[in-house]
Structure 1
């Protein structure tokens, strides 16, 4: 990859001052001293625990040839002072990687629940329509068939641009991307030229970070307020796909300059689901759109998956795919790992692993189970540590209100005492209404040992995750593996 001339780098930045200016060619842009190579531009980012301004000497020792800072520093190499190094990081990343999102169809999906399923639905439709596709999201980043492990739902601005550049080099022309509220507030999505923005829903989550629902909504709204303000488009107009059954969605309609397609089950929705039938075999409904009705039968179960399908339909239609082709592709999709995932067994017990880790998510999943459950509903659920504690008793109350057999257990306790988390979940509940089994493996096995043919066992909270975070250490743990191992061992004993 060719370098970036400093003269070109200066142009988009509001530069306060440049010391020791000379003609330079930047060979790399980074905010991480561990990745610095000779000729790197090191951008000083002030984080929650580490301030990059304190690492300038180390950056220079490792070969940095340019420092970008917003605080006064001492350095023997050129220093470019800017007002906001986070924006500088995003702007230089776009420049250095030649603005790759401009070269592809970009769909950003945000909301409390449904982001992962919706991005996978959109990707499946685009792929079926002949596009070369990529995904950026919670489970992994995906370039064609290659899956790349990821830490955050939405990477930092530099990592994202580098990833999009790699996609562009491999002829990827469309990317479905989960965009988290943290990322929007922190500017991680700056510089991405989104063509379509999707809003799934908004319910209580991440208040340990955003503090209020107003601030949480504001974070989500940034994706839409930054969409299409210039009315410049590639092939199709910039479009916002918004859940109008969610009252926050109605607010979003006024916050974007882009075209809006609403979806939902209400009469006001432009993309409307009617005549809904949900069973353990799948979900059927009629999709009304532009005075036409399309029958739809998807393999995924639940009202929430109807909303995900409607959102995906809108996004793909906005990118020029015909309604019948969108529906055909959605009907073929088997499901997404850890999202209402049915775990096969020979015990005639319906075992479901789901990522539901918010009050709204848990309620939606349990209500779906209730629609087809013939006997008892077991719910194994916990709450994550170092996250919003106010949702803990709410989730526990939802579980006891809907399920018939409840086992509260650990999720990812992180640095909190799991017993304290369980105390907070169960405060105010009748102790006869639930069982506490702190060890997650034991809790899952207990639910399976007590369940009888015809029962449903929902294991909620971790979904696709193959780890459990205890303290600051990740331990291998997979809910699906625990279930399958239990039944394998049981079959051996028979």
Structure 2
């Protein structure tokens, strides 16, 4: 177990080198070892290519980071994009690992450690973690949400709609809600070890439902391998992560594994956006190839089972008539924009697909406060609108700005940037989307990481269509400040790209930076300057 997941401390203590122990302490240690789980409890014969050492060896926990190895743990040497876990086997052994799972058996493994060779270490990790934590996913209804955009909003909506007498767990981009406590997120879709460990905490805290964001990386890297999904949701698919997937079709193929059994199980219910071209393609494929899943479609498309009619988009609210096979209802939501109609429909269709009554669960929508960093309003008494949003693809920017264009009486201003060490091909497309809708844009740093901001700007400039409507400012705080200076009554400023993030990555340093906090501070300072 890693991070904040507690280790089995009594068992770890038993693995410590023997000092002077009383007879009573020695007997207690013997009992602990006798009851301890053994390697043989967690591996099936057909999963093992070769073994050096005994499988009749007690273990105290599972670890994927050699720095977190403690005496008695089983270390998984995972292959990675930046580093190979096999390089850290010696460190893991020196720290007290009693067994190693690897895809390549060392020529001369230490005799005191058991080595288990497997075909795919990530698949083995998922299977072993699921068994180690006693299949928590089988004691809860797990809902996985995948797609380029909307995952965070849909999972938060589902948590709100499904939260009745029992708490609902959540794993996502912003935080991990484990039922009894909530902790900051460190990855949209964590490693399988973390997923099963956190779901075990949810189960023990009384959760009977868990919702989670499922990224394409998480699917491709086997992080959700074997998870039993009560429902899987497809929001949409647009250009993103092509630095990893290379092509849009490859990106889509990875997403489909969540629905077709390519991740080890087929969801009982597949909820698919019929307004999206790839969603329509997925729904048709599932209907032919995967008869064991029930397909529920949503959208404004008249063919959708759960659909929106008479949509009214306003600046502070959205209304529409909800239609489903069991009836109709008028929906009034504080979420703005047509894409949020889609997000609402996704959550509603999923809850309905799981057998919940819309007349009951939609009453909980009134208490929904929105999602941090998703079209979040900054209200500090300024005479213009300021919104912070996570939009960081050309499609997300086009949707956000297109919506704001329709409801903004004045000018539409935008501050945006492109992340470093990520897909370079989307950078000019993001600029083109901004220039299509914004009256003026300030291009600035997002998370440059180790890439030169000059290179990022050069790529972004490839999408310029109106050079007089854009300027370039390296410093993000200064960019936001200048945009606020430009804004006049009736205008709208969108600060896009980072949303809920409270940090900025520059070179090898991560430092505090929250668009929402920066905007509030700057508005307050400017108001003080004016009043003085």
What's the CA shift for 1:431? 2.1
Mapped to 2, the partners of 1:241 and 1:36 lie a distance apart of: 40
Residue 488 of structure 1, CA deviation: 1.1
Gaps of 5+ in 1: 232-236
Alignment partner of 1:388 is 2:423: yes
1:13 shift after superposition: 4.9
Structure 1: how far apart are the matches of 2:420 and 2:122? 29
Give the drift of 1:425.
1.1
Give the match for residue 119 of structure 1: 155
* Cα pair 1:407 1:434 within 8 Å, conserved: yes
The 2-side partners of 1:366 and 1:292 are apart by 33
Q: State the Cα deviation string for residues 33-64 of structure 1 (Å, max 9, x = none).
A: 11212211112212123222232222222111
What displacement does 1:21 show?
2.0
CA distance in 1, matches of 2:413, 2:328: 38
Are 1:361 and 2:396 an aligned pair?
A: yes
Aligned to 1:292: 327
Contact 2:322–2:328, Cα closer than 8 Å, also in 1: yes
Does the residue aligned with 1:46 lie in a helix, a strand or coil?
Answer: coil
Aligned residues of 1:407 and 1:435 also touching (Cα < 8 A): yes
In structure 2, the CA distance between the partners of 1:420 and 1:55, relative to structure 1 (3 Å rule), is closer
Per-residue deviation, 1:250? 1.6
CA distance in 2, matches of 1:401, 1:292: 40
Q: CA deviation at 1:227?
A: 8.2
Q: Which residue of 2 aligns with 1:234?
A: none
For 2:434 and 2:263, locate their aligned partners in 1 and report how far apart those are by CA, in whole Å.
42
Instruction: Measure how far apart 1:191 and its partner are.
Output: 2.5
Counterpart position of 1:436: 472
- CA drift at 1:104: 0.8
Report the 3-state secondary structure (helix = DSSP H, G, I; strand = E; otherwise coil) of the residue aligned with 1:203: coil
- Quick one: structure 1 residues 420 and 229, their matched pair in 2 at CA, closer, same or farther if it must change by over 3 Å? closer
Partner Cα separation in structure 2 for residue 81 and residue 334 of structure 1: 49
Change (3 A) 1:162 1:228: closer
TM-score normalized by the length of structure 1:
0.95
Between the aligned partners of 1:110 and 1:472, the Cα distance in structure 2 is 30
The residue that corresponds to 1:60 in the other structure is 93
Of 214, 239, 249 in structure 1, the residue corresponding to residue 279 of structure 2 is 249
Shift of 1:475: 1.3
Shift of 1:85: 1.4
Inter-CA distance 451–16: structure 2 relative to 1 (3 Å threshold) = same
Assess if the C-alpha contact under 8 Å between 1:287 and 1:294 holds in 2: yes
The alpha-carbon deviation at position 12 of structure 1 amounts to 6.3
User: For residue 132 of structure 1, what is the aligned residue in structure 2?
Assistant: 167
| Contact 1:194-1:227 at 8 Å conserved across structures | no
Q: Does 1:415 align with 2:445?
A: no
Question: What corresponds to 1:339 in structure 2?
Answer: 374
CA apart distance, 1:480: 0.8
Q: Distance in 1 between matches of 2:338 and 2:305?
A: 18
Question: Does the CA-based 8 Å contact 2:51-2:115 persist in structure 1?
Answer: yes
Tell me by how many angstroms 1:83 deviates. Answer: 1.6
Query: Could you say what secondary structure the match of 1:348 adopts?
Result: coil
Q: Which residue of 2 aligns with 1:16?
A: 49
CA distance in 2, matches of 1:437, 1:94: 48
Name the SS of the counterpart of 1:176 in structure 2. strand
Deviation at 1:353, TM superposition (A): 0.4
Look up the match of 1:32.
Answer: 65
Query: Residues 90-489 of structure 1 correspond to what in structure 2 (within 5 A)?
Result: 90-127=126-163, 129-144=164-179, 146-226=181-261, 238-253=268-283, 254-255=285-286, 256=290, 257-290=292-325, 292-427=327-462, 428-489=464-525
Relative distance call for 1:145 and 1:489 in structure 2 (3 A) is farther
* Deviation (angstroms), 1:125: 1.0
Q: What are the within-5 Å matches in structure 2 for residues 39-54 of structure 1?
A: 39-54=72-87
Shift in Å at residue 20 of structure 1?
Answer: 2.5
Cα distance in 1 for partners of 2:252, 2:82 equals 26
Moved more, 248-257 or 291-300: 248-257
Q: Secondary structure at the match of 2:424?
A: coil
Give the whole-Å Cα distance in 2 for the aligned partners of 1:402 and 1:125. 34
Distance 1:22 1:144 in 2: 35
The count of aligned residue pairs is 488
Q: Which has the larger radius of gyration?
A: 2
Please state how far the C-alpha of 1:90 moved relative to its aligned partner.
Answer: 0.8
Question: RMSD of the alignment, in Å?
Answer: 1.7
